[in-house]
Amino acid sequence: MIRLIALILSFAGMLCILSGFSKDTTSTESSRNTTGEISFKNRIMPIVRRECLPCHAEDSFNPSDLSLDSRELLMSGGRHGAPVVPGKSGESVLFQKLGPNPPFGDRMPLDPKKKRGERSLKSLSQEEIDLIGRWIDQGAKNN
C-alpha cells in the first residue's frame, strides 16, 4: 500500500514537472517564434502600419517614392529599387535601413517629431528588426 502511494505521488510529481516544462517551452517558443514561418499579414504588416506608413503611405510624399501600403507595393520598390531581396536580409535595403549605419540616408523609421536633417533616435526594437530579417530570409512571402 505504501509503495502504491509512493508510486502514485512519484507519477503525479513527474506529471507536474513535465507539464511545467511543456508550458515554459511553449510560451517561450511562441513569444520568440524563431523556428516557425513568419506571417507578413500578422507579424510584419502591423509593424509597417505603426512605424512606416506615417511617411511611406501611397498617398504621402516621400523622397524615396517607396510606398509600403501592401506587400506588392513594398516589393515593387521606389526610387532606390526593390528594397527586399527575398532570402537575403543582409542584401535588402529595407533591413539595412533599420540598422545603425544604413547604406544611404537616415536610419528608419524617422522620428516624425524631428526636422529634416536632424538625426532620428527612434528605432524598432531589436526583436522587431530580427523578425523582419527572418521574414526576408524566409523568402519575404505574402502570407
Q: Is residue 4 part of a domain?
A: no
Domains contained in the chain, number: 1
- Domain extent at residue 64: 37-137
Mean pLDDT of 59-63: 85
Residues 6+ apart with CB under 8 A from 48: 68, 74
- Is residue 46 a part of any domain in this protein? yes
SS3 assignment, position 16: helix
Residue 17 lies in a domain: no
Cα separations (Å) of 80 from 71, 90, 93, 118? 17, 16, 9, 22
Residue 105 maps to a domain: yes
State pLDDT tens for residues 19-54: 343 333 333 233 344 569 999 999 999 999 999 998
What is the torsional sign of CA 81, 78, 51, 117? positive
- Mean pLDDT, residues 77-103: 95
